Amino acid sequence: MNSHKWLDDPLVMIMTMREGDAARWDPDKLVDFAKSFSVDAFGFSVGGITAFYPTEIPLHPHSSSLGDRDLVGETVDALKRNGLRAIARIDASLARKELVVEHPEWFARDKSGALISVHGHYVACPNGGHYRTFMVQVVEEILLRYAFDGLWANAAQFSPWHTPQCHCANCRAMFKAEHGHAIPNEDWNDPVWRTYNEWRYRQVADWSALMRSTIDAVRPDCAWLPLSQVAESWDHARRGGWDVDYTEPHQQAMVLEAQRRYTNFWWPGLEARYLHNIEGHKPGHVTVSYFLPWWRLYRAPTPENKIWTAQILAQGARPWLHITGYFSEQFDRRGLESFQELFKLFKSNPDAYVGTRSQAEVALVYSRHSLDNYGHDDPENRYLNHFRGYYNAMLEGRIAFDILSDKRLTRETLSRYKCVVLPNAACISDAACDALAEYADTGGHVIATYKSGFYDAMGNERAESLISRLTGATYTGHTWEGMQAAYGAIKDRNHLICEGLGDTDLIPLTGDLCFFDVDRQEPAPITFVPPVEGEVGSGISVPEFNQITSVTEYPLVIERRASLGKITYFPWQPDWMGYRYGLRDCFLLLGNAVRSTPDYRPQVEIEGPGLLDVSLMSSDDRSVLHIVNFSSPGSFNSGHRRSIEEILPLHDLCVRVRIPKGRAVTDVRPVVGHLANGYEYDAAEGRVVFRLSRIEEFESIVIGHS
């Protein structure tokens, strides 16, 4: 019997307790509050930095206002009486000075050997005894006393809370023993530094394995659920040693965090997509904060919270609503009611949100190895903005897609897709290259940009790049870097890559361009026009002399047929350029590349305005189309993106959805629109067509079929 089955589909609330909250903590009122959100499980702070129960472990500090109460025991009992699962939140990142005095060898040190402090506490090292002895004792005590269903770890990482790199004696000795080197200075051209960076990820995963074995020995029906992050929070994940692919084998379910609201507004959907392809289809969960990260007592705007949360459900994961400071005398309650309504909607429509899986035929590869080992000290510009750009292209093209980790590019995972996209996935393993080559030979379509596959996973340059292997074109070793004011000349308006560009002879080009010796068997649809500038490198020219004098034959799109499949390669950076400048022509080219997949038939077509994220899920008796509306007014250059205070409603959209072969449509029902009789629809030739009269933040449409 699977004792963790409850993790498949729960809605969860996480309440972070502050050190002084014990005085106001009323378990029964807390449970009533949680139930008003229709959640199935409730998590709360238990131990680590502060204990909210009468711990017997020396130097494990009680909450200052706990008195002689056992708030953990009272709260677990209240949850169980009301049919809610209980999740314990622990935090191993910090400890009081008294423990440091007793065990100074357990704690992180900066390069000078000094302890590192936050809020008057001291940062612990994942390789030290605070994590590997003290926290083991804390977890054993908690689980022996209380019937928790899950254990969730916050901030279990190196360098938490933006603190310096650890140079403690444990780290120095362990790295030296394993790799024969002292801890290096940060230098991404140094293979020892890249090895050390990878080692940090492995060490955090090793601690996660220790926690799992501890839990299994004490209370095996308690799930281990450590927190991690992907992509948009690279600065935390890299320094912290968080790689969900490495910790996954030790977890019963996956929990990622999407709380930093200055990131792209599609970050929660990105993380949910990433979790959807975790090995063994482990349940995926994404935490979403009620608050803004800088002001933890102040709510994020309601429309933003709605799309932030809806896209998690749309990709088959489950949201964990995180609230901090609920017991404060000053708290921003605006938006609590809307979250209660939202969760009630999710809970009352299981046919839309439970028991389906993605039917996407396109996968976008996210490469953490490229982020680190090619991105170096400028990972956003060198790697992440390429990935972000292609993600935007998928939204612009309204293409249903999944995300694959670069560590999970295998024959089995690739075989599920007609098209796999590598947005500057510069650093991927030899095994991944072999799998991609086989995938193309057996009928798949590989799309790649810029320096995809030029390096192995650890950043060592290949003698033959993946692009050369797939296309037969030889890289010359020359890349023109930092171009400005260049163009692409459109040579074949009728080519599918150019579809939708309209009445133009050219598109803009900037950034870098790789040069290959190309066998030009067929004329390229777009070719390179060198920069038009007054002085080389200036990027500008006098208007009277702004004239194109040279149009080369060098292709900006290289297409080749493999044995049964196809390769499309952009030797420049249309994904990076589209993201940086917001150029829809770049997104159009990238979307057209997907649509050029042999035998491509779009799964979803939507006629009408708006920036939409679409996903298509299905089970035996239904398909579910999820649409998240990202159409928000206004923007300004503030250093952060604008908070989403308003979503522009869209009207009268014509929707076409491909249905599974051999199935007959029985009904089309909107979940948010609440139409009792559903939509009128036409179904023929494997498609169902209907009109969506209005969409605000999101809509989920259940398409029944038999």
Condensed to tens digits (0 to 9), the pLDDT of residues 495-543 reads: 999 999 999 999 999 999 999 998 766 789 999 999 999 888 888 888 8
Q: Give strand ranges (E) for 334-443.
A: 357-358, 362-366, 402-405, 419-422
Boundary of a domain, candidates 546, 570, 595: 595
Q: Decide if 666 is inside a domain.
A: yes
- The C-alpha atoms of residue 365 and residue 349 are separated, in whole angstroms, by 31
Range of the structural domain that residue 136 is part of: 5-260+269-294+309-324
Same domain assignment for residues 672 and 573: no
- The C-alpha atoms of residue 38 and residue 432 are separated, in whole angstroms, by 43
Same domain assignment for residues 664 and 548: no
Same domain assignment for residues 589 and 492: yes
What's the pLDDT band for 329 if we cut at 50, 70, 90?
Answer: confident
Q: Cα dist. 563→418, 441, 442, 471, 476 in Å?
A: 15, 5, 7, 11, 25
pLDDT of residue 19: 83
Q: What is the mean pLDDT of residues 165-187?
A: 98
Same domain assignment for residues 409 and 285: no
Q: Decide if 346 is inside a domain.
A: no
Question: If DSSP codes are grouped into helix, strand and coil, which group holds residue 215?
Answer: helix
Same domain assignment for residues 566 and 613: no
Residue pair 600/628 in contact by the 8 Å Cβ criterion: no
Same domain assignment for residues 438 and 469: yes
- The continuous run of DSSP H or E covering 353 comes out as helix 350-353
What's the pLDDT band for 545 if we cut at 50, 70, 90?
Answer: confident
pLDDT, tens digit (0-9, with 9 covering 90-100), for 547-586: 999 999 999 999 999 999 999 999 999 999 999 999 999 9
Could you give the count of Cα atoms lying within 13 Å of 656 in the half-sphere of its Cβ?
10
CATH number at residue 313: 3.20.20.80
pLDDT, tens digit (0-9, with 9 covering 90-100), for 65-95: 888 899 999 999 999 999 999 999 999 999 9
What's the pLDDT band for 639 if we cut at 50, 70, 90?
Answer: low
Q: Decide if 337 is inside a domain.
A: no
Average pLDDT, the chain: 95
What's the pLDDT band for 105 if we cut at 50, 70, 90?
Answer: very high
Beta bridge partners of 570: 449
pLDDT of residue 281: 80
Q: Is the pLDDT of residue 194 over 80?
A: yes
Boundary of a domain, candidates 551, 571, 595: 595
Q: Are strands 284-289 and 254-257 parallel, antiparallel or unpaired?
A: parallel
Q: Decide if 332 is inside a domain.
A: no
Q: Are strands 117-118 and 150-154 parallel, antiparallel or unpaired?
A: unpaired
Residue ranges in 53-152 assigned as alpha helix (H)? 71-81, 97-102, 129, 135-145
For the entire predicted model, the pTM comes to 0.96
Q: Decide if 240 is inside a domain.
A: yes
Same domain assignment for residues 667 and 552: no
Q: What is the mean pLDDT of residues 275-293?
A: 88
- The C-alpha torsion from 296 through 223 and 155 to 217, rounded to 10°, is 140
Burial 111-141 (b: 16+ CB within 10 A, else e): eeeeebeeeebbbbbbbbbbbbebbbebbbb
Rg of the chain taking only CA atoms, in angstroms = 27
Same domain assignment for residues 167 and 286: yes
pLDDT of residue 185: 96
Whose CA is closest to 489, among 536, 535, 524?
524
How many domains does the chain contain in total?
3
What's the pLDDT band for 676 if we cut at 50, 70, 90?
Answer: confident
- The C-alpha atoms of residue 331 and residue 652 are separated, in whole angstroms, by 40
Same domain assignment for residues 183 and 100: yes
What's the pLDDT band for 638 if we cut at 50, 70, 90?
Answer: low
Same domain assignment for residues 543 and 501: yes
- The C-alpha atoms of residue 65 and residue 71 are separated, in whole angstroms, by 11
Same domain assignment for residues 444 and 386: yes
Q: Decide if 339 is inside a domain.
A: no
Q: Decide if 303 is inside a domain.
A: no
Q: Decide if 154 is inside a domain.
A: yes
- The C-alpha atoms of residue 283 and residue 363 are separated, in whole angstroms, by 20
Same domain assignment for residues 479 and 615: no
Q: Is the pLDDT of residue 609 over 80?
A: yes
> CA 676, 680, 684, 687 torsion: positive or negative?
negative
pLDDT of residue 528: 98
Boundary of a domain, candidates 538, 573, 595: 595
- The C-alpha atoms of residue 525 and residue 248 are separated, in whole angstroms, by 44
Q: What is the mean pLDDT of residues 429-441?
A: 98
Whose CA is closest to 703, among 686, 684, 688, 685?
688
CATH number at residue 372: 3.40.50.880
Edge-first strand listing for the sheet containing 357-358: 357-358, 612-619, 622-629, 698-705, 665-670
Residue pair 520/553 in contact by the 8 Å Cβ criterion: yes
CATH number at residue 654: 2.60.40.1180
31 DSSP assignment: H
What's the pLDDT band for 294 if we cut at 50, 70, 90?
Answer: confident
What's the pLDDT band for 292 if we cut at 50, 70, 90?
Answer: confident
